[in-house]
Structure 1
Amino acid sequence: MTRIVAVIVSLSVFGYPRGESSPRMSPEPYMRVNPIVQQIVAAISEERIAENLKKLESFETRHTLSDPTHPTRGIGAARTWIFEQLRSYSPRLQVSFDTHFVKKQGQRLVRDVELRNVVAVLPGTRQPERRIVICAHYDSLAIVRGPDGQVDWTQTEVFAPGVTDNGSGTAAVLELARVLSQYEFEKTLVFIAFAGEEQGLVGSTLYAQRARQEGQIIEAVLNNDIIGTEVAGDGASANRVVWVFSEDPADSPSRQLARYVKRVGELYVPAMRVELIFRQDRFGRGGDHIPFNHEGYAAVRLTTPSENFAHQHSATDTFANASPAYTTLVTRINAAVAASLALAPKPPVVATERGMPLLGRGRSGYAAHLRWRHENPEPDLAGYVVVMRATTAPDWEREIFVGPVNEYVLEGVSIDAVTFGVKAVDREGNESLVAAYVNPPRPRATFQTDEPRARP
């Protein structure tokens, strides 16, 4: 076991030497951009995304309960076209329907339905068991209200073009499958168009539950939902910003994925700003990443900050009211993140098998002693990066490249006032997700007592 001790004097609680106004970043190669990832990002085509949006609009409705037998209209025609598009991109893509027979239930599932997710798998070369999921829902909805003002959920055949919600996410998934399938990656990439989102996240729930039952290792889920508008209903525009939602707590796997999206997305798409929203989804609403959260997977939602509620779930959610240029920028962020993760080493393990963090106070009792495990390290592994931040900071504030070791000591740094993490990096600069040291909750104590009886 290789051990490194860093002796740092006059540290603040952040671990910065006195007098420094900002962290000193290491010149190690992990800070470089990967030219392969740059090529992938550049290959994303706005023209193709626009074509996909127009085609999805042409089905008139993609309601989950619309007629599945019509050759050019409805959910059946749409899923067949998505299937054929995915199959045309590369012979290496394994395309299939993930089919479920769902019973009538609740308000929105007004009859039994055969639900089909469309799945395309690009197998990895070195770590095929580890999966990166890129997804969106392809079903659409137009709300019809009765004379009493209540939603009539039986109206399943009305015009529901759903270009922004969520043709935009579907078009992104298709374009990502087209471009990424021309490359080889260490990990497996999975592209999914879910059905049944508008009926309560049905398709994604059934997929995520089966993935957990099968013991699938899903390292990240990038859910794209409503990435097609750049002007909100009140006229506000944020056409160079994308929101990324991630569930609490502060160092959940999903929160680490969100931070990764910001770091890598802004590195490869500098025209865009990734704004982290520390909430599972928009207030009182949901998306297809949530079932993966429920199954313990790291999953985030990418969405526009410029929603136009007048067009959502209506006949006016059309191509004329969408922005292919904005969808393209968000798709490029997806491409950078998915490619980087699929090329990167697996994250180190920073806890024991019982879940206790491998973090202590060192021999002096006043240090931060970090340890980690990395079984079967990749042959191109360059080493590890220790990351640090104040407990109240939203993102990592300092990085230290420590090389190919599996422990590191920061003398004079309190583990009580700083949050730590470790990530792996290969010689091409591809970084894993950060594995954060999480303090497990202290169990609630119960004590047996023998209280004296009350005196009469």
Structure 2
Amino acid sequence: MKFREGPKMRFAFILLLSILAIPADAQTGWKTVNPEIQSIVDSVSKESLESMLRQLEAFETRNTMSDQTSPRTGIGAARQWIYDQFKSFSPRLEVSFDTHQIPKGGRIYHDVELRNVIAVLPGSDPIGKNRRFIISGHYDSISETSYTAGSRSETKAPGVNDDGSGTAAVLEAARILSKFEFPHTLVFVAFAGEEQGLIGSGRLAKRAKDEHWMIDGVLNNDIVGNSIGGSGKNHNQTLRVFSEEPNDSPSRQIARYVKEAGERYTPAVNVDLIFRHDRFARGGDHISFNRVGFPAVRITVAEENYSRQHTMDDTLEGIDLNYLSRAVRINVAALASLAKAPSAPKLGALGRQPSGYDANLKWEPAEGNPGGYVVVMRKTTSPLWEKELYVGNVLQFVLKDVSIDEWVFGVRTIGKDGSESLTSVWTTSAAPEARTIQ
């Protein structure tokens, strides 16, 4: 059998367990670097990102209330350019506008047409293609002088960092990933109306819920371009990922997955997990999906610089292109890993049998033909999985003399190629109440 410590954990752990037969392909592939995913990560281009940001800046403003008819400036020109970029990447991308008529009210000071720009890379597996993973950013921008009066909607709002950086991340991910085939469906979205109250993402999240989309995760990129924070400190090796409570929520499992996959393929970057739905008293488009029950996280810089947000000074000169490239690498590593991964197992019972002092874990078989399963565990006070144990292609496992009162347990499916699913986590002792990521 195969045992590994969790990421960044360095302490001894000994379990005496009977030897299980482990499929050679799953055993050798588990936790190794997948060459195809590494090639995807290595394809991220700083030059491509710079070119995208220059064009986004050239629209002068992308305010949701700005001109929709000019071919050169305003949000209308910006969304058409994003649409055309998606179309140019691959004929396999299904590109569309998600259009909504928004009436006057709140920060919308006149009736306006709002368009999200969506590109879908359909999955290749007849069943797996129903599972969707979304990467998003918002392409609208705003200047602090343009919140109220309609006459100010044309005020320059270059929005290169907020959130041209996230939009460029989405475009670059689409450019690269659309060249590959994955079992599951990837969705690339540039939202509008974020600065007026998460309007575009709110409308798409509602549509997804109403149409019963199976969204297994949303990676929302909002402000991923500045390595120098407002304090003047350089954080060029660190990204933050925000996720909603509770500690074993589906969103938090996505965050842990982003950290594990991202750091595996981009080891120079530290993915710092922030266990809060977003920055204090603030929000982003991932929250729209959280509100209707979908797992979603925010990926953002290690320290914000408010001089590069909602101002006319949010220009390309405030962007660290090397840092932005690292952020995109983290994204595509996680997305490609998720898009290749098998489904997570559904949980059975968690009990203390046979001795009354053991941890007895049961689960149901995952879809398809899995290579095996990995049991993960951590102390109740630990943020990250501390122990990982490959247990073979079985549906029950007993950890001798391990208290279920002191540990949190989860199980993952391992594909024949060594790919790992999201984690299904036992949160109670009763199977019907167990929390499962599928």
SS at structure 1 position matched to 2:167: helix
State the match for 1:454 in structure 2: none
| Counterpart pick for 2:282 among 278, 281, 285 | 285
Q: Does 1:58 align with 2:58?
A: yes
Taking the aligned partners of 2:14 and 2:185, their CA distance within structure 1 comes to: 42
State the match for 2:428 in structure 1: 439
Taking the aligned partners of 1:104 and 1:440, their CA distance within structure 2 comes to: 50
Does the 8 A contact of 2:27 with 2:418 survive in 1?
Answer: no
State the match for 1:343 in structure 2: 340
For residues 224-282 of structure 1, what are the alpha-carbon distances to aligned partners after superposition, in whole Å with 9 as ceiling and x for unaligned? 00001011122111000000000111100011111111111000001111000000001
Q: Does 1:232 align with 2:221?
A: no
Taking the aligned partners of 1:425 and 1:314, their CA distance within structure 2 comes to: 47
How many residues were matched structurally? 410
How far 1:320 sits from its partner (Å)?
1.3
Does the 8 A contact of 1:95 with 1:121 survive in 2?
Answer: yes
State the match for 1:112 in structure 2: 111
Listed as ranges, the gaps of 5+ residues in structure 2 are 4-10, 17-25, 431-438
For residues 8-28 of structure 1, what are the alpha-carbon distances to aligned partners after superposition, in whole Å with 9 as ceiling and x for unaligned? xxxxxx993389xxxxxx965
How far 1:153 sits from its partner (Å)?
4.6
| Counterpart pick for 1:326 among 320, 323, 326 | 323
Q: Root-mean-square deviation (CA), in Å?
A: 2.0
Bigger Cα Rg: 1
Taking the aligned partners of 2:83 and 2:120, their CA distance within structure 1 comes to: 12
Taking the aligned partners of 1:153 and 1:335, their CA distance within structure 2 comes to: 39
Change (3 A) 1:440 1:100: farther
Does the 8 A contact of 1:30 with 1:427 survive in 2?
Answer: no
Structure 1 segment 290-309 matched on structure 2, within 5 A:
290-309=287-306
Q: Does 1:421 align with 2:422?
A: no
Change (3 A) 1:18 1:211: closer
Does the 8 A contact of 2:71 with 2:77 survive in 1?
Answer: yes
Q: Share of identical aligned residues, percent? A: 52
Taking the aligned partners of 1:374 and 1:220, their CA distance within structure 2 comes to: 22
SS at structure 1 position matched to 2:87: helix
Normalising by structure 1, report the TM-score. Answer: 0.87
For residues 388-417 of structure 1, what are the alpha-carbon distances to aligned partners after superposition, in whole Å with 9 as ceiling and x for unaligned? 000000100000101111111112111111
Q: Does 1:162 align with 2:162?
A: no
Taking the aligned partners of 2:354 and 2:237, their CA distance within structure 1 comes to: 49
Normalising by structure 2, report the TM-score. Answer: 0.90
Does the 8 A contact of 1:33 with 1:429 survive in 2?
Answer: no
Does the 8 A contact of 2:131 with 2:216 survive in 1?
Answer: yes
State the match for 1:393 in structure 2: 382
State the match for 2:258 in structure 1: 261
State the match for 2:394 in structure 1: 405
How far 1:105 sits from its partner (Å)?
1.5
Taking the aligned partners of 1:312 and 1:216, their CA distance within structure 2 comes to: 33
Change (3 A) 1:440 1:49: farther
Taking the aligned partners of 1:431 and 1:399, their CA distance within structure 2 comes to: 12
| Counterpart pick for 1:363 among 350, 354, 364 | 354
How far 1:109 sits from its partner (Å)?
0.9
Q: Does 1:209 align with 2:233?
A: no
For residues 402-449 of structure 1, what are the alpha-carbon distances to aligned partners after superposition, in whole Å with 9 as ceiling and x for unaligned? 1111111112111111000001111222111111111289xxxxxxxx
Taking the aligned partners of 2:260 and 2:220, their CA distance within structure 1 comes to: 17
Does the 8 A contact of 1:137 with 1:195 survive in 2?
Answer: yes
Change (3 A) 1:195 1:440: farther
Does the 8 A contact of 1:143 with 1:152 survive in 2?
Answer: no
Taking the aligned partners of 2:148 and 2:15, their CA distance within structure 1 comes to: 65
Q: Does 1:152 align with 2:117?
A: no
SS at structure 1 position matched to 2:304: coil
SS at structure 2 position matched to 1:96: strand
Listed as ranges, the gaps of 5+ residues in structure 1 are 7-13, 20-25, 146-150, 352-357, 442-456
